[in-house]
Structure 1
Amino acid sequence: MTRAISLHNVSKRYGRAPRAVDRLTLDIEAGEFLVLLGPSGCGKSTVLRMIAGLEAITDGELRLDGQLANDMPPGDRDMAMVFQNFALYPNMTNRDNIGFPLLVENPREDRGPRVDATARKLGIEDVLDRYPSQLSGGERQRVAMGRAISRRPSVFLMDEPLSNIDAKLRIQLRSEIAQLTREMGVTTVYVTHDQAEAMSLGDRVAVIRGGVLQQVGAPRDIYALPDNVFVAAFIGTPRINLVQGFVHAPPREGMTLDLGSQRLPLPEPLSVDHQLLRIQQGRPVIVGLRSEATRIGLPSQARPGEVPLTGTVANTDYQGHEALVYVDIGSEPAVVADLESPRPDGSPRRRRARPRPGVLGRLKGRTVARTPGPPLALGGSPRLPYNPYASYDPAAQRVGAGELVVRTPPSLWLQKGAQVPLLVDLAHLYVFDRHGRRVSPAPAEMLGEDV
C-alpha cells in the first residue's frame, strides 16, 4: 500500500522568528518520487519532519489519502525515515538494526526471512553480523535504508541520505535508491541541496527558497522553463550565465538587448515571446544564457537563430572531456540573492571583510592592470593545440566584468586575454524582469494558452 500526501497552505514558525516554511501547498501522488530541493536552511527538512509528524504544523493542513493528519501520531502514519547521519544503534549488529522495526511491530514474528531479503536487495548479506562501527559510510547508509525498507512502509522520507558519502559512491547509491523505490512503488519524499541528485532521481522536483515554494515540475521542465531567476540559477551545472541588461526597442527599429558594452540583436520578424519584451522597454532586465546556448564561432559560421557577440577569455577550466571557457563580454553580472538561504533569525549574513593586500599584492595589482592581455595563440604554436580563430580581429571594444561560461572541445586552447567571436542561440535565451520573474520565453498564461 502506498499513500498520497497533500499539504495545503502549510506554515511553520519557531517563536517570533520569521516563518521557516511559509504557506506551502503541494500535492504528492501515491507512488511518486518527489524531491525537495533548495539551499541549506531553506526549510525543506522542516517540511519533511512535518510530514513525518516530528514537527507540529503552525498553520495549514496535511492530508494523507485525503484524511486530515495534522495531529496524527508519527507511529500511525506508516512512514519510514532515512537520516543524513545514518542513526544506527551502535550496540546492535547490522542484522538487529535492520530487524529492529519488525521487533517493535511484532516481537513474536520471525524477522530472519525479511531481514535476509532486505539485505539481498541492498547487497549487504556479508556484513549482517558486524557492527555499524566496522562498516564504511556507504555500507552504513545501506543498513539505514534496509531498516526503513524492512518495515514495508507506505511512504519513504529521506533527509539528505547521501551527503556524508564520497562522490563516487554517492552516484552508485543514487541509482540504487531510484531502482529500489520504483520496484517497491512506494511514495518517496527526498530532501537534498544537490541539484544533480534532484534532477537524476525525482519524478518531480519542488524548489524551495526561504521557506517558500518557487516551482514544482518534472526535472526537464524546470531546467528548460524556470519560473524565476532563482530557479534558473540554482538548477544546472555550470550555473547559468546571468548579466544585467536593458530592452532597447525604438519605434520603427529592430529590438536589441543592451548588455553594457555590446548589444544583442533580436532577428526580425520578432517571435511572439520577443514581441512581449516591448513591455520591458527602458526597464532593467536580467539576461540568462546557459553554457550550451553560446559557442565560439565566427559570424560567417552562424546557424539560423544565432547572433554574434565578442568576448575576451578570462579563464579556462579544463574538465577532460570538455573545457569551460569564461569569456568577458563587458557586461555587469547579475547577482542572485539567497542562493544560500538567510540566517534562521532572518538577519542577513555578514560578509567577511576582505584582508588588505600587502606591498607585493598591491604591486602585482598595478602590474596586471597596466599590462595588456596576450594576443591569441597562433595556430602554428608548438606548445598549444590548433586555434581556428587565431586570425580573428574584431572591432576594439572595452571589456568589463560580465562573464559567460562557454563549453568548448578539450582540443581548443584559448589563452587568457585572447579576444574571441561568440555565437548566441536566441532559442535558449532567457529574460527576467527586475523582480526576477521570467518574461521570455513568455509564460503560457501571457500567451493565452492553457497551462
Structure 2
Amino acid sequence: MTRAITLRSVGKTYGRASRAVDRFSLAVAPGEFLVLLGPSGCGKSTVLRMIAGLEDVTEGELLLDGEPANHLSPRERGMAMVFQNFALYPNMTTRANIGFPLKLENPRQDSAERVESTARMLGIESLLDRYPGQLSGGERQRVAMGRAISRHPSAFLMDEPLSNLDAKLRNHLRAEIAQLTAELGVTTVYVTHDQSEAMSLGDRVAVMRGGVLQQVSTPREVYALPENVFVAAFIGTPRISLLQAVVHAPLDGPMSIDLGRQRLALPEPLSPDHQLLRIQQGRPLIVGLRSEAVRIAPPSQARPGEVALSGIVEHAEYQGHEALVHLDTGSRPAVVPDLESARPRQAPRRRRAGGGVFERLRQRAGGSVAVLDKPVTDTEPYAVRGPDRPAVTSSDLVVRTGPDLRVRTGGQVPLLVDLAHLYVFDHSGRRICPLPRDVPGLDG
C-alpha cells in the first residue's frame, strides 16, 4: 500500500514567534519520490514532521488518500521515518533493531523471516547479530532504513538521512536509496539541503525559502526554468552569476543590456523573449548567466546567438575534468538574501592622498561592485548600494572551461555569451525570460 499526501495552505507557528511554515500547498502522488530542498531553517523538516504527525498543523489541512488526517496520531498514519542521527537502540542487535517496530505492532507474531528478508534487501544479513557500536556509519544507516522498510509503511519520510556520512559513502547510499524506493514503489518525501541529492533522487523537487514554497518541478525544469532568483541561485554548481542590469531599447537603434562597464548587444531580429524586454526599458533588472552559457573565445569565433564580452581573470579552480575561471567584468553583482549577506559597514577611515586602496581598486574595476546598502525587505529584496560608495571588488562571473585551457591571473580574456541561455529577472526576483517554450536544453 502506498499513499497520496496532500497539504492545503498548511501553516505552522510556534507561540508568538514568526511563522515556520506559511500557506504551504503541495500534492505528492502515490509512489512518487518528492524532495523538499532549501537552506537550513527554511521549514522543510517542519513540513516533514507535520506529515508524520510529530508536529501539529497550526492551520490548513493535511490529507492522506484524500481523507483529512490532521487529527490522526503518528501510528495511525502508517508512515516510517528515517532520521539524520540513525536513532538506533545501542543495547539491541541489528536483528532486534529492525524487528522492534514489528514487535510493537504485533508482539505474538514471529517476525524473523521479515527481518531477514529486509536485511537481504539491504545487503546487511551478515550484520544481524552485531550491535550499533560495532557498525560503520553507512551500516548503521542501512539498519535504520531496514527498520523503516520492515514495517511495509504507506510512505517513507526521510530527514537528511545521509548528512552525517562522508562524501564517498553519501554518493553510494544515494544510489541505493534511489534503487530501493523505485523497487518498493512507496511514496517518499525526502528532506535535504544538498542540491546534488535533490537533483539525483527526486521525481520532483520542492524548493523552500523562509517557510514559503518557491517552486515545485522536475529536477531538470527547476534547473532550466527557475521561477525566481532564489531558485536560480540555489540550484546549480557553480552558482549562477547574477548581475544588476538595465535594458536600453532606443527607437532608432538595437536593444542592449547594460551591465555597468559593458553591454550585451541583442542581435536583430529579436527573439520573442528579448522582445518582451522592451517594456522593461530603464527598470532595474537582474541578469543570470550559468557557467556553461559563457565561453572564453574571441569575437571571430562567435556562433549565431553569441555576443562578445570581456573579463579580467581573478583566479581559476582546477577540477581535474574541467576548470572554473572566475572573472571580473566590471559588472554589479546582485546579492540574494538567505544565501549570502553583505559585509558589515565599517566606520569611515581617513583617506590618504591619492585615494587609498578603495580608489585604486575602483579604478582597476572601472566602477564599483554593488552590495547591500540596508537590510533586505520583502518589498526591496535586491536593494543595492550605488556607485558613490565603492566596495571591495571580486569576481562577478564564473566560466566553465576544459582542463587544458591556460589563463593568466590578472590577464584580460575575450568572452562569448550565448543569449539563448540568458536569464532575466525583474527587480523583485521573478523570472521574465526565458519563456517556458524557449528554454534551452529542454525536450519539447
Aligned to 1:449: none
Aligned to 2:322: 322
Aligned to 1:149: 149
Q: 1:333 to 1:402 in 2, by over 3 A?
A: farther
Alignment of 1:372-383 (within 5 A): none
Aligned to 1:428: 421
Aligned to 1:83: 83
Shift of 1:339: 2.1
Aligned to 1:263: 263
SS of 2:19's partner is coil
Shift of 1:426: 0.5
SS of 1:20's partner is strand
Contact 1:11 1:20 in 2 (8 A): yes
Alignment of 1:332-347 (within 5 A): 332-339=332-339
Contact 1:12 1:19 in 2 (8 A): yes
The gaps in structure 2 that reach 5 residues or longer are: 350-355, 366-391, 438-444
SS of 1:243's partner is strand
Aligned to 2:217: 217
Aligned to 2:15: 15
Question: What per-residue deviation string (whole Å, max 9, x for no partner) do you get for residues 152-210 of structure 1?
Answer: 10100000000000000000000000000000000000000000000000000000000
Shift of 1:105: 1.0
Identity of aligned residues (%): 72
Contact 1:330 1:401 in 2 (8 A): no
Q: 1:255 to 1:180 in 2, by over 3 A?
A: same
Alignment of 1:94-243 (within 5 A): 94-243=94-243
Cα RMSD for the two superposed structures = 2.4
Shift of 1:354: 8.2
Aligned to 1:390: none
Provide the rounded CA distance (Å) in 2 between the counterparts of 1:291 and 1:185: 36
The gaps in structure 1 that reach 5 residues or longer are: 341-348, 358-363, 374-398, 445-451
Contact 2:44 2:211 in 1 (8 A): yes
Aligned to 2:248: 248
SS of 2:282's partner is coil
Q: 1:350 to 1:251 in 2, by over 3 A?
A: closer
Provide the rounded CA distance (Å) in 1 between the counterparts of 2:116 and 2:250: 73
Is residue 304 from structure 1 mapped to residue 304 from structure 2 by the alignment? yes
Provide the rounded CA distance (Å) in 2 between the counterparts of 1:176 and 1:414: 40
Which amino acid letter does the alignment assign opposite residue 103 of structure 2?
L
Q: 1:354 to 1:86 in 2, by over 3 A?
A: farther
Which amino acid letter does the alignment assign opposite residue 424 of structure 2?
V
Shift of 1:252: 2.5
Aligned to 2:278: 278
Contact 1:331 1:400 in 2 (8 A): no
Aligned to 2:379: none
Contact 2:314 2:395 in 1 (8 A): no
Question: TM-score of the superposition, structure 2-length normalised?
Answer: 0.87
SS of 2:327's partner is strand
Q: 1:90 to 1:37 in 2, by over 3 A?
A: same
Question: What per-residue deviation string (whole Å, max 9, x for no partner) do you get for residues 205-236 of structure 1?
Answer: 00000000000010001100000000000000
Which amino acid letter does the alignment assign opposite residue 189 of structure 1?
V
Segments ≥4 residues shifted beyond 6 Å = 349-357, 370-373
Provide the rounded CA distance (Å) in 2 between the counterparts of 1:234 and 1:299: 31
Provide the rounded CA distance (Å) in 2 between the counterparts of 1:71 and 1:352: 47
Which amino acid letter does the alignment assign opposite residue 312 of structure 1?
I
Shift of 1:350: 10
Which amino acid letter does the alignment assign opposite residue 38 of structure 2?
G
Aligned to 1:41: 41
Q: 1:443 to 1:205 in 2, by over 3 A?
A: same
The aligned length equals 405
SS of 1:47's partner is helix
